[in-house]
Structure 1
Amino acid sequence: MAKTKKGQKETQDFSKHIRWFWKLFIGGILAILLIFLLASWGVFGEMPDHTVLENPKTNLATEIISSDGKTLGKFYFNDNRTPVSYDDLPQHLVDALIATEDARFHKHSGIDAIGTLRAAVFLGSKGGASTISQQLAKQLFHRRENANVIQKLSQKVREWIIATRLERQYTKEEIISQYFNIYDFGNNADGIRSASRIYFNKEPKDLDVKESAMLVGMFKNSSLYNPRRNPVGVKNRRNVVLAQMYKYDYIDKKLKDSLQNTELDLDYSPESHREGIATYFRGYLDGFMKEWIKNNPKPDGTKWNLYNDGLKIYTTIDSRMQKYAEDAVQQHMPRLQAEFFHQNTPDRNPTAPFLELDQSEIKDLLNRSMKQSERWRHMKYDLKKSDKEIEESFNKPVQMSVFAWVDGQASEIDTIMKPIDSMRYYKSFLRPGMMSMDPQTGHVKAWVGGMNYRHFQYDMVKQGKRQIGSTFKPFVYTAAIDQLHYSPCDEFPDTPFCIEAGKFGNPEEWCPKNSGGSYGGQRTLKNALANSVNTITARLIDKVGPQTVVDLAQKLGVESEMLPVPSIALGTPDISVYEMVGAYSAFANQGVYTKPVMVTNIEDKNGTILYQFKPETRDVLSEETAYVTVKLMQGVTEGGSGTRLKHTWAVNQPDYKEVVTGYPYGFTNPIAGKTGTTQNQSDGWFMGMVPNLVTGVWVGAEDRAVHFRTITYGQGAAMALPIWGLYMKSCYADETLNISKEDFVAPENLSINIDCSKETNDTGDDSDKKTPDDLNF
């Protein structure tokens, strides 16, 4: 009997333990459910609702897109992110991610039960349990940095909940693409598109297997596995990814082994506001967009954010032509600068780089520049320094990086220099400005505002305006053709000529001289323009009047101030490259002015069109007048200062020990153009046209006192024309651009004689015309 009672007691005690087990088990389940429920209600922190999950907030860079579909650059503050769709991701990139981060991605609904159990049993020593969906949840909605254990646990619960919601909200493919788009790969590489462009200079769809493996390897920790700072670690991590791809049968052993033995083969192409292609154009576009945003609010009345809203700006710039333009500048400017430095050594020019200035004038110039500098503004208004303190700082040597041409390449040199001396150093550099445009559509194809945006940010296409010299003369000739029906074959005496005081409001008698002071014989208008004869240009403006010429130039799009005085005939106004290219385009476009266009469309991140340009055109000249003017300007390249475009040669630089090969142009197609050189050779211009492309080039220094001493190197034909020639050779070599080699279209009923076969052969000195043997360019 006692034995039975003892057995019953043992049975009851065991049952009691079972009941407690089930109570604890069920209680634990209920507790976990309660924790999840409380977390879903936001007790442990705000949870994203359905609308937020549907449109997660991420900062998207504004993308600048060329006419040929390439990304020219982006506007962003911190996040250089441009999303791509799943279809733009190569399959091996997706495979690498799944094999490395979440092998059962397609088998779970946000939480990997097997992985979670394994992580719990082995305390994470055999791998974590975070799925791609959980990692996306963490990236989108919270971070765990500097959190304690309780916070980390609560955040982990929130990750699980958000992950399951994401799985219900999105397809597996959309989750993959979002994860690639959200991740920060370092070095301003936000998202897979920026990462592939910055590290390999290609679009994601063009990545190969080993490149995909490297980028996926960075998901572990992009700060630690940074290919620029830790290439060995990144290579090892990449090889782990390749091993995982082999483990899950995405690649075979032979491919794995061969790829693991390769280097990273980076093609690092940083994306910043001061680097890359079309930097000066992007600088202009920044101002354009801010003005557009000011006048075009969102539907809800708020302002667009240029740096975060993911706008797409479709431009007229052709990335190929832009590159050819920048290459032409990079090829010509170091050679021109080398010659300038050669002529301006302290022995040859004690006031180098200035000419015509004494030491007191140079000091005044530098002091004015000092007070206009960003350094002065920062110290005076931000740091509240006195003028004396600021001036003293300009005369203390400091470490700095300065621009230099090194072996023909734009480079930076680390040095120690006084800021005031660095200002003088920078003033010694010659700078270019160049714009190229389709005259029929007005589409600007290339825009080069300088040679290095990091060190010379002032844009010499639209922002800068300089004296234009003889490139203004075609406006005078056009007015004479239009008003007086002159022919290119009409002759005028090349003799001294004056416009008396009082005529056209001129206070003094004006008697322009030809270069060199030589005259003689009769010249046709074609010959006179080709040789830029000043006296004949003066005779023409005397006949049509300065106001007529000013009115014409304004109709052709020149907005800069132009005084209606006789001297305007020789190019005294300051006008931008942008205005000049627009004006010349009307000649190539049969007398129709088309306002230059840079932006065709603006879209939001969803592809909704926010802006679409409307062309602005106006008839300015008859087809006949425009065509006759073009024929006049063809004479410049057939027998005038632009003749070198039709030849090739190699010449010696007399002061150098080596022979430098001249630029080989050898164009055979019709080209209309005009060179220009201002007083003292401070500005060199060339305007060149073919039927479907008009390009203007200016070269000069910041200050007019910095220039070549003689016209041999200082004329437009030596400073600016070579850039045009190099650019056009590249454009013609690229047959996909379809740049015209045909003649300009003649009007059907041409009444003005353009056949000057009996043209006089008289020649006279000209500020623009030199023979090949006079030049090394």
Structure 2
Amino acid sequence: MAKKIPFLRKLKYFGFSVIATCSGILFLIVFLTYTGLFGPVPGTDELQQVNRQQHTIFYSSDGKQIGTTRKQNSIHTELEDVSPVMVDALLSIEDVRFYDHNGIDNRALARVLVKTILLGQDSGGGSTLTQQLAKNLYPREYSHGFFLITDKIREMIIASRMEAIFSKEEILTLYLNKVSFGEDTFGIEMASRRFFNTSASDLTLRQAAVLAGLLKATTSYNPYRNPESSKERRDVVLRQMEKYGMISTEEAEAAIEQPLVTDYTRYREPDDIAPYFLEMARRELTEILSAHSGSKNSSYNASSDGLEVVTTLDTRIQQAADAAISERMKYLQSILDRETGRSPIFGMDDPDILQAWKQTGQYRELVSQGLTDQEIEDILHTPVNTSLFTWDGYRDVRISPYEELKHYLTFLNAGFVALHPYSGRVMAWTGGINHRHFPYDQVTAHRQPGSAFKPILYAAALENGRKPCDYQRNVLAQYADYDGWTPRNHEEEYGGRYSLQGALSQSINTVAVHVAMETGVENIQQTASAMGIRSPMPEAPSIALGTAEVSLLELTAAYTSFLNSGQPSKPVFIQEIRNSDGERIYFLDDSLNTSAEIVSRESDISGITPETAGAMVQMLQKAVNEGTGEPLRSEFGIRHALAGKTGTTQQFTDGWFVGFTPDLVFGTRIGGWNNRVRFREFPAYASQTALPVVGGFLNRLSENPELNAAENRFPLNVTNTSFTLSCPDFQNDRLRDRILDFFTGRDSDDPRIIEGEEQNSDSTKKKGGFFRRLGRALGIQ
């Protein structure tokens, strides 16, 4: 017996050591969380402002309200205006001891620790309503692993402070106005209208039970999408209300026997004029207010201090852009839908669709519920009620989430941006065809621009000694050092010589690549950087054809260099900020493209020479007047000063147009979600996709006399250059070149081999016959 005592003592000491160590670690985590190391822990003063928050209001430059910092779709309601059965239903299922705790329910917390951590069983939620409110007000940055623990502790700290500040009724009011019911619906009033077409004050027992049950999983228990699951959850809530004496057994039984009935109100698009622009303006506002945390403006909070922000957006220009995009995209989508109807892009269990599914909020919600992969897959393929966006309006259907996702991923999308060339003001910004269903911004998305990048190439050539009237042979070439790459012209026409301005105007690929080889890839990269492009550039001559992935914003901003004497303008979204007292705390000085007050926008971008910029303006005018952009004149009837360049990527994946008038630089891109979403039969050159958007946009601007958009010519200081541009675009091969080709046996349709320096190769000789070569040499076709 004496031998066992030391062992028991060791076990006892070991147990104490484990408890002490765990307690010490827990205390350290709590302390570090309390200090704000793992996320903001608001103090008493900040929490007291929650009820008195004034949202920042954004205005356009032409004086219209375009949005606020509040992104939630909600309507405030007071607690006395909420049906009492709604409050009972909420407390019965979410926090039955709400009136007995001070923000932390110790009994629920103990249950979670024992059942979840020690026994590995589902214990239900342990968070009180106050903790849930803290989570809504101060969202988690991470939701897994160690950070899940620190977030829980942080929410407990915030909840305890809120309980000390607010009454229970105030906390309930805040919760019922802040909580999400899914579908971009926040607050009990908006949820009542969405799902039952009624007010929160008129909710019935069954309706209240549905909404209370919805909070656990807003997608899985959505009464419109999943009525069967929603009814099961409703009945659970009713049984809880019966259990805690909030309703009688008879009332519970009578309600459970009734079917689930909704009066769903279809989603209506928000009134925001430019939702994608607003996202960027909100971001810039935060940067401006935080960039000078030590200044007199450091105390301003974008979310609660009632600031008034005048943005650079012009709603008239924005509406012209939106209308032009909608008109063209509806037409293009109808063509693509006919093609995909005959030959679908995506099949069943398509890996691209499955990968996209894992990026959705619904998938993350299902994973958080602990469902197995098989259960999630079953949900993915189970039909639900939904309302699909189409160009002809919303359509109520019953399809699986897989089919719904496939529907949206088959859409073509578009981006459009318009900038003031000298100040960088963003005048219009359309990041997609529908912000709710396509929130990913197409203006900042990176794609290959095709020939819309060629002005950067030719600007680099001029910067490095070439001239617009230098001639280059239009010869098919094979580049041995680049895996035998053979760039071709889209018309498959070769021979003759193009001036550089002619090659740009007609978008001749062979000449562009040869110019790139002579200019040097590194010099092209340097010019792109000097014009403000920061995206990585390929180390290959294919850079000439726009294979670098850039954003529409980057390329459009680079084009401002041409109008601005070679210096690119940095895009800006905000021109003035006033506090709640009307005092101006920030303004943008257009002449310097800098803030004159609390932020500096000093640029490290060198730009290009004014001579090159002036020459490029004239060369891009020619591209519109006589080249690939000519349909803007002949088909859309645009007569005022205009310059620009189209761009079409391989297999018609994307169509671009970037251009400018004397007072506006603009760009648009049209393409699919990935390279599989494209036309296979329709000849989707940029002249058929992006260019018509620009044509429609410019015509709408011309119809508005207030904008004075139809100037007849570019100012002399913009087009002034020392370069000579009066030369023919094209010349036939000189007799010397024809004779040389004849005796070397080379046909202009044959690829010549390029290995470092231009070399001839017997392998490229085409056996076309003596008389054919003689005819070519003499100019006889």
Matched, 1:485 2:466: yes
Matched, 1:574 2:560: no
Match of 1:706 in 2: 677
Query: Matched residues in 1 for 2:432 and 2:464: separation?
Result: 38
Q: Which amino acid aligns with 1:645?
A: L
Structure 2 matches for 1:194-593, cutoff 5 A?
274-295=270-291, 304-345=300-341, 348-349=342-343, 352-353=344-345, 363-381=350-368, 383-406=369-392, 411-462=393-444, 464-487=445-468, 489-501=469-481, 508-593=483-568
Segments of structure 2 that go 5 or more residues without pairing to the other structure are 1-48, 85-176, 179-198, 203-265, 589-593, 595-600, 734-747, 750-781
Contact 1:76 1:308 in 2 (8 A): no
Contact 1:546 1:565 in 2 (8 A): yes
The SS at the match of 2:397 is strand
Q: Which amino acid aligns with 2:275?
A: T
The SS at the match of 1:594 is coil
Alpha-carbon shift at residue 467 of structure 1 (Å): 1.1
Match of 2:9 in 1: none
Alpha-carbon shift at residue 73 of structure 1 (Å): 1.3
Match of 1:69 in 2: 63
Query: Matched residues in 1 for 2:289 and 2:371: separation?
Result: 36
Alpha-carbon shift at residue 700 of structure 1 (Å): 0.4
Bigger drift between 536-545 and 564-573 goes to 564-573
The one of 647, 651, 657 equivalent to 1:686 is 657
Query: Matched residues in 1 for 2:457 and 2:715: separation?
Result: 22
Identity %: 31
Match of 1:753 in 2: 724
Alpha-carbon shift at residue 496 of structure 1 (Å): 1.1
Contact 1:313 1:601 in 2 (8 A): yes
Q: Could you list the per-position Cα deviations for residues 198-254 of structure 1 after superposition, in whole angstroms to 9, with x for gaps in the alignment?
A: xxxxxxxxxxxxxxxxxxxxxxx9979xxxxxxxxxxxxxxxxxxxxxxxxxxxxxx
Contact 1:646 1:668 in 2 (8 A): yes
Contact 1:494 1:523 in 2 (8 A): yes
TM-score by length of 2: 0.59
Query: Matched residues in 2 for 1:496 and 1:515: separation?
Result: 12
The SS at the match of 1:405 is coil
Query: Matched residues in 1 for 2:297 and 2:455: separation?
Result: 49
Query: Matched residues in 2 for 1:642 and 1:323: separation?
Result: 23
C-alpha distance 78-343 of structure 1, shift in aligned 2 (>3 A): closer
Query: Matched residues in 2 for 1:435 and 1:397: separation?
Result: 38
Q: Which amino acid aligns with 1:672?
A: A
Query: Matched residues in 2 for 1:439 and 1:610: separation?
Result: 25
Contact 1:353 1:427 in 2 (8 A): no
Query: Matched residues in 2 for 1:612 and 1:68: separation?
Result: 16
Query: Matched residues in 2 for 1:144 and 1:484: separation?
Result: 76
Query: Matched residues in 2 for 1:726 and 1:405: separation?
Result: 18
Alpha-carbon shift at residue 611 of structure 1 (Å): 3.5
Match of 1:671 in 2: 642
Query: Matched residues in 2 for 1:716 and 1:596: separation?
Result: 25
Query: Matched residues in 2 for 1:369 and 1:574: separation?
Result: 21
Q: Which amino acid aligns with 1:494?
A: N
Q: Which amino acid aligns with 2:613?
A: A
Contact 1:332 1:722 in 2 (8 A): yes
Contact 1:671 1:688 in 2 (8 A): yes
Alpha-carbon shift at residue 750 of structure 1 (Å): 3.5
Structure 2 matches for 1:36-51, cutoff 5 A?
none
Q: Which amino acid aligns with 2:278?
A: R
Task: Give the length in aligned residue pairs.
Answer: 502
Alpha-carbon shift at residue 460 of structure 1 (Å): 0.6
Q: Could you list the per-position Cα deviations for residues 679-729 of structure 1 after superposition, in whole angstroms to 9, with x for gaps in the alignment?
A: 1100000112111111100000101111011462x1111111111111111
Q: Could you list the per-position Cα deviations for residues 325-359 of structure 1 after superposition, in whole angstroms to 9, with x for gaps in the alignment?
A: 111111111111111112222xx31xx135xxxx6
Contact 1:61 1:81 in 2 (8 A): no
Q: Which amino acid aligns with 2:608?
A: L
Tell me how large the CA RMSD over aligned residues is: 3.6
C-alpha distance 404-539 of structure 1, shift in aligned 2 (>3 A): same
The one of 706, 720, 724 equivalent to 2:694 is 724
Contact 1:685 1:721 in 2 (8 A): yes
Q: Which amino acid aligns with 1:704?
A: N
Match of 2:617 in 1: 630
Alpha-carbon shift at residue 320 of structure 1 (Å): 0.9
Q: Which amino acid aligns with 2:654?
A: D
C-alpha distance 480-78 of structure 1, shift in aligned 2 (>3 A): closer
Alpha-carbon shift at residue 491 of structure 1 (Å): 1.9
C-alpha distance 441-749 of structure 1, shift in aligned 2 (>3 A): closer
Q: Could you list the per-position Cα deviations for residues 611-646 of structure 1 after superposition, in whole angstroms to 9, with x for gaps in the alignment?
A: 334255555122211111121111221122211111
Contact 1:472 1:570 in 2 (8 A): yes
The SS at the match of 1:277 is coil
Match of 1:739 in 2: 709
Q: Which amino acid aligns with 1:75?
A: T
The SS at the match of 2:379 is helix
Q: Which amino acid aligns with 1:418?
A: S
Query: Matched residues in 2 for 1:452 and 1:693: separation?
Result: 25
C-alpha distance 375-533 of structure 1, shift in aligned 2 (>3 A): same
Query: Matched residues in 2 for 1:671 and 1:568: separation?
Result: 26
Contact 1:692 1:740 in 2 (8 A): no
Query: Matched residues in 2 for 1:611 and 1:457: separation?
Result: 30
The SS at the match of 2:688 is helix
The SS at the match of 2:622 is helix
Alpha-carbon shift at residue 492 of structure 1 (Å): 1.4
Contact 1:59 1:81 in 2 (8 A): no
C-alpha distance 301-272 of structure 1, shift in aligned 2 (>3 A): farther
C-alpha distance 396-602 of structure 1, shift in aligned 2 (>3 A): same
C-alpha distance 608-758 of structure 1, shift in aligned 2 (>3 A): closer
Contact 2:280 2:573 in 1 (8 A): no
Q: Could you list the per-position Cα deviations for residues 284-343 of structure 1 after superposition, in whole angstroms to 9, with x for gaps in the alignment?
A: 233333444554559899865433321112110001111111111111111111111122
C-alpha distance 416-144 of structure 1, shift in aligned 2 (>3 A): closer
Query: Matched residues in 2 for 1:427 and 1:679: separation?
Result: 20
Match of 2:210 in 1: none
C-alpha distance 743-736 of structure 1, shift in aligned 2 (>3 A): same
The SS at the match of 1:541 is helix
Alpha-carbon shift at residue 669 of structure 1 (Å): 2.0
Contact 1:316 1:599 in 2 (8 A): yes
Q: Could you list the per-position Cα deviations for residues 141-164 of structure 1 after superposition, in whole angstroms to 9, with x for gaps in the alignment?
A: x989999xxxxxxxxxxxxxxxxx
The SS at the match of 1:336 is helix
Contact 1:61 1:80 in 2 (8 A): no
Alpha-carbon shift at residue 760 of structure 1 (Å): 4.1
Q: Could you list the per-position Cα deviations for residues 490-524 of structure 1 after superposition, in whole angstroms to 9, with x for gaps in the alignment?
A: 221111124441xxxxx534331222533122222
Match of 2:235 in 1: none
Contact 1:681 1:710 in 2 (8 A): no
C-alpha distance 387-604 of structure 1, shift in aligned 2 (>3 A): farther
The SS at the match of 1:73 is strand
The SS at the match of 1:727 is helix
